[in-house]
């Protein structure tokens, strides 16, 4: 054994250790909090993205002004459960096999113990809290609300409880959620108001040490209900409808229709025939402005409590929503209207008032937040950190955004192109610079063969089958036959 340190030498050594220890505590104390705001079914109809010229979202817009807005961000799946599973696990739907509304990803073999974004932050010293719809649907199935295995603190669940006794609109499908109109009289009766209330309460009495608070709002998901004052922002006689083209589907492969073959959301044709297109668009916009106000209430509380300076704020939506484009309403497609989502990051380590036009994926949130928080790199994630773009919006990013809907159906989105390849190998290609509405499918034009070859290289190599007990918007393609919810689609069966 070596000679023990002499007195002066020992003192210097102890002093050095003290500096290291105090430094580590300082780093821990300076770790930013995370406010994680999820919005259900919100497309790019927000002021700062310009998806609709009349959209009024002052609170989301001011968050964008305080941070970085990704103008070319896309979901991993145009459906709630697989999209949220991807965000929370950092894995693609084609890796987990979670493609449909059910089941919960913990039932998938090999993913029973996957460490979610919540669990990762908790393991590194964060208190985790959630309210509203962050998981699908809000709480994982069969979870005791006091159980901290997924999240430590479970807040107000929320739902679609503020509903009239009967639907306002008699849609072709009797689904009670597919409805729109002025309801209720007071914002305070909406669950999203109560979700904001619970989040505000946590911000006023925050946990000791760093925290990760997820707030999941349900609007503008159907039913599109809002009080009269939000409808008043969008007078029906001045309402701008989204651009549509009557023969838009004529150059599409038949398989494109299979992804949204039989849905409760009405088609554009029905809306037009029943004079419901304007009312639905108006209700969707009103619902957006209502949820924007709830976002504003939470952001105001963050600032009032003095927590804003050391809190990373992330705002995102799980997928987009059609309001007549391509002849449909709802999601469940691989086109821009269904995949493009708001994505805003603000706070420490983020450059303010910048717009990034590089492709981004919701899958990138896991590694991005880990890096912003100064946490160790998490192995096995399929997303890539956006920190370089958060510091400089023009930083290079060669990777496209990839969206998947059911097995072997993918869209690849670069800065200028959208390429879609379906399970039957049919394809679509759009030049977004010249054709932002995706009205002209270029896939069969020989001059674009090279572009298709390049984009095809980005398609996921792993495409696992749907996990057992999958249900809800499930499309399967087996031996040349497409199956919707387990029933074969006849080759001559018309798109409904």
pLDDT tens digit string along 31-43? 999 999 999 999 9
Q: How far apart are CA 160 and CA 162, in angstroms?
A: 6
Q: What pLDDT score was predicted for residue 143?
A: 67
Best CA proximity match to 45, nearest among 23, 26, 63, 60: 60
419: part of which helix (H) or strand (E)?
strand 417-421
With cut-offs at 50, 70 and 90, classify the pLDDT of residue 460.
very high
Axis-axis angle for helices 191-204, 277-304 (nearest 10): 10
Residue 7 has pLDDT above 90, yes or no: no
Q: Which residues of 241-278 are buried (b: 16+ CB within 10 A; e: fewer)?
A: ebebeeebeeebbebbbbbbbebebbbbeebeeeebbb
How does pLDDT run across 8-31, given as a tens digit for each residue? 444 444 433 333 333 333 344 489
In order, the DSSP letters of 455-475 are HHTTS-S--PPPPTT-BSS-E
Q: What pLDDT score was predicted for residue 22?
A: 33
Beta strands in 102-229 (DSSP E): 127-132, 153-154, 180-182, 211-220, 224-226
Where does 329-400 have alpha helices with state H? 336-339, 365-372, 387-391
How does pLDDT run across 424-446, given as a tens digit for each residue? 999 999 999 999 999 999 999 99
Pairing outcome for strands 487-488 and 343-346: unpaired
Pairing outcome for strands 127-132 and 211-220: parallel
Q: What pLDDT score was predicted for residue 17?
A: 39
Residue 405 domain-assigned?
Answer: no
Where does 305-343 have alpha helices with state H? 336-339
Residue 437 domain-assigned?
Answer: no
CATH number at residue 85: 3.40.720.10
- Strand, helix or coil at 327? helix
**Catalytic (active site) residue 80:** yes
Q: What pLDDT score was predicted for residue 162?
A: 82
Q: What pLDDT score was predicted for residue 160?
A: 81
**Catalytic (active site) residue 122:** no
Q: What pLDDT score was predicted for residue 146?
A: 57
User: Average pLDDT of 244-262?
Assistant: 97
Residue 2 has pLDDT above 70, yes or no: no
The rounded mean pLDDT for the chain is: 93
Active-site position among 80, 260, 405, 410:
80
Active-site position among 52, 136, 156, 221:
136
Residue 9 domain-assigned?
Answer: no
Q: How far apart are CA 290 and CA 241, in angstroms?
A: 20
Residue-range definition of the domain harbouring residue 88: 31-400+458-488
Poorest-pLDDT segment among 7-11, 115-119, 122-126, 475-479: 7-11
Residue 6 has pLDDT above 50, yes or no: no
Q: What pLDDT score was predicted for residue 157?
A: 87
286, 52 Cβ separation under 8 angstroms: no
Domain count, the chain: 1
Tokens of 348: 């420490």
Poorest-pLDDT segment among 104-113, 118-127, 217-226, 389-398: 104-113
Residue 126 has pLDDT above 90, yes or no: yes
Percent helix, strand, coil in the chain, to 5, is 30, 20, 50
Q: What pLDDT score was predicted for residue 12?
A: 41
User: Average pLDDT of 41-59?
Assistant: 98
How does pLDDT run across 129-154, given as a tens digit for each residue? 999 999 998 777 766 655 668 999 99
Strand order in the sheet with 487-488: 475-478, 481-484, 487-488
With cut-offs at 50, 70 and 90, classify the pLDDT of residue 169.
very high
User: Average pLDDT of 225-246?
Assistant: 98
Poorest-pLDDT segment among 70-79, 145-154, 213-222, 249-258: 145-154
167, 176 Cβ separation under 8 angstroms: yes
52, 287 Cβ separation under 8 angstroms: no
């Amino acid at each position: 054994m070596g000679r023990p340190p002499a007195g002066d030498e020992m003192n210097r050594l102890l002093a050095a250790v003290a500096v290291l220890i105090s430094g580590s505590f300082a780093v821990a104390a300076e770790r930013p909090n995370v406010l994680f705001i999820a919005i259900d079914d919100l497309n790019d109809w927000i002021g700062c993205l310009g998806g609709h010229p009349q959209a009024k979202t002052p609170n989301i817009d001011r968050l964008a002004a305080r941070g970085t807005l990704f103008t070319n961000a896309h979901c991993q799946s145009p459906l709630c459960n697989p999209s949220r599973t991807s965000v929370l696990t950092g894995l693609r739907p084609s890796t987990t096999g979670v493609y449909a509304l059910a089941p919960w990803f913990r039932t998938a073999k090999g993913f029973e113990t996957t460490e979610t974004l919540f669990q990762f932050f908790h393991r590194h010293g964060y208190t985790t809290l959630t309210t509203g719809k962050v998981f699908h649907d809000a709480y994982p199935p069969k979870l005791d609300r006091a159980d901290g295995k997924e999240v430590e603190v479970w807040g107000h669940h929320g739902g679609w409880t503020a509903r009239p006794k009967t639907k306002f609109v008699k849609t072709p499908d009797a689904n009670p959620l597919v409805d729109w109109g002025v309801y209720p009289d007071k914002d305070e009766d909406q669950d999203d108001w109560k979700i904001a209330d619970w989040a505000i309460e946590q911000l006023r009495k925050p946990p000791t040490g760093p925290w990760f608070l997820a707030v999941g709002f349900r609007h503008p998901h159907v039913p599109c209900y809002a009080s009269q004052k939000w409808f008043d922002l969008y007078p029906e006689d001045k309402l701008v409808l989204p651009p549509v083209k009557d023969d838009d589907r004529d150059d599409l492969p038949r398989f494109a229709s299979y992804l949204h073959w039989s849905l409760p959301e009405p088609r554009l044709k029905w809306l037009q025939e029943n004079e419901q297109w304007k009312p639905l668009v108006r209700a969707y916009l009103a619902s957006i402005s209502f949820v924007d106000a709830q976002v504003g209430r939470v952001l105001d509380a963050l600032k009032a409590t003095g927590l804003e300076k050391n809190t990373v704020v992330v705002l995102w939506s799980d997928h987009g929503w059609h309001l007549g484009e391509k002849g449909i309403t709802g999601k469940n497609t691989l086109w821009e209207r269904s995949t493009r989502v708001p994505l805003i990051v603000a706070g420490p380590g983020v450059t303010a008032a910048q717009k990034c036009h590089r492709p981004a994926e919701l899958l990138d949130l896991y590694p991005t937040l880990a890096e912003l928080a100064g946490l160790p790199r998490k192995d096995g994630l399929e997303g890539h950190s956006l920190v370089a773009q958060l510091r400089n919006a023009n930083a290079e990013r060669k990777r496209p955004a990839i969206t998947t809907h059911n097995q072997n159906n993918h869209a690849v989105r670069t800065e200028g192109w959208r390429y879609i390849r379906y399970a039957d190998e049919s394809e679509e290609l759009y030049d977004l610079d010249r054709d932002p509405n995706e009205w002209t499918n270029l896939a069969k034009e020989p001059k674009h063969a090279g572009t298709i070859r390049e984009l095809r290289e980005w398609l996921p190599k792993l495409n696992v089958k749907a996990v057992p007990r999958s249900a809800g918007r499930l499309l399967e393609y087996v031996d040349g036959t497409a199956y919707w919810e387990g029933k074969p689609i006849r080759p001559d069966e018309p798109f409904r």
